[in-house]
Amino acid sequence: MDQAFLASYLIGLREGLEATLVVSILIAYLVKSERRQQLPPVWFGVLIAVALSVGFGALLTYTQTSLLADFRSRELFEAITSVIAVALVTWMIFWMRRTARALKGELQGKLEHAVSLGTAAVVGLAFVSVVREGLETALLFFSAVQGATTSAAPLLAIGAGLLTSIGIGFGLYAGAVRINLGTFFTWSGVALIFVAAGIFKYGIHDFQEAGVLPGLNTLAFDISGTLDPNSWYGAALAGMFNITSTPSVLEMVAYFAYLMPVLAAFLWPQRTTSGPATSKSTASAVTTSDATTSDATTSAATTSHGAAVRSEPDPRPTPQKSRAGGSAAVPAPVSSRT
C-alpha cells in the first residue's frame, strides 16, 4: 500500500461529501420550488469552483517543483503550506460541527436571495459554496502527500474518495442511501485531526530542514528496527498520521501539542441541555404570550362589544321626571302576537 493512499482517500471522501451535500441542498431546493431553470447556473458555478481548485493544486505543485530552485526554499514553502493547511482543516472541522444543523436553512435562504437578484448571483453562490471545499482539498492533499511518495497512487486515492462521496451524495438525494451524517462527520473529523497533527509534525520537520527551527538531529526515539517504513503498516502509519521511526523531539512536541487539545475540544460534548431548555422556555413564553394576547383580544372584543351595545339607542322610553320630583316611567308599547 502506498504511504499516502489512506490519507488521500479520507481527504477526498470527507471534503467531497461536504461539497456534495451543499450542491444537493441547492438542487433539491430549486427542484421543490419548481425553479429548474436556475439549475444550469448552479452547475456552472460548481464547475468553475472545481476548475479553480484543480488549478490551485497544480499551481502549488508547479511552485514547488519548478519555481523554487534551492532545497531550503522548497522546504520552507512546504512548511508554510503545511501550517496553513492545518489551520484551514481545523477551522473547517469545528465550523461543520457548529453549523451542520443550520446549514440547510442558511443555504436555502441565501439561494432564495440570489434567485431574486438574478442568474449571476446564483452562479456566485454555487461557486462560493463549493470553492471553499475545493481549495481546502487541494491544499490539504498537497500537504499530506509531499515527501511521502512520487507515484500516482495518492492522486488515484483522492479521486476514488471524491467519486465515493459523489455516489453517497447522489444516494442521499435520491433516498436510496441512509446514513447518520452526524456520526460520519464526527468519526471522519477525528481521523482528520490525526491527519492534521501529522501534517503539522511534517511542517515542523520542514522548518527544521530549512534551518528556521533547531533540533533536527535531536531525536525523540529511534524505532527503525521495529517500525519498518517499507512494510505495509509502516507505510500506512507514515502516510495516514505521519508516524515515523526517527522523529525529532520538537516534532513530537508539536504533534501532541496540536493533537491533544484539538481532539479534546472536538470530542467535548456540546451543550445539548441548554437547547431544549431554551426551546421549552421559549415555547412557554410564546404560549403564555399567545394566551395573554388571546385573553386581551377577547377582553377587548367584549369591551368593544359592550360599548357598542351601550351606544345603541335604548328602545324603551326614557324615564321622565314628574312635577313632584319623582321619576315616572312611560311603559313601553306591548307588541301584539298574531
- Does 117 map to a domain? yes
| pLDDT score, position 149 | 56
pLDDT-flagged residues of the chain (< 50): 1, 273-338
- Does 121 map to a domain? yes
- Does 322 map to a domain? no
Q: In the chain, how many domains are there?
A: 1
- Does 92 map to a domain? yes
Q: Domain range spanning residue 117?
A: 5-269
- Does 295 map to a domain? no
- Does 50 map to a domain? yes
Tell me the per-residue pLDDT of 188-229, one tens digit each, with 9 for 90 and over: 889 899 989 999 999 999 999 999 999 999 999 998 888 877
- Does 163 map to a domain? yes
Tell me the per-residue pLDDT of 110-122, one tens digit each, with 9 for 90 and over: 999 999 999 999 9
What pTM was estimated for this model as a whole? 0.71
Query: Do the beta carbons of residue 89 and residue 196 sit within 8 Å?
Result: yes
- Does 317 map to a domain? no
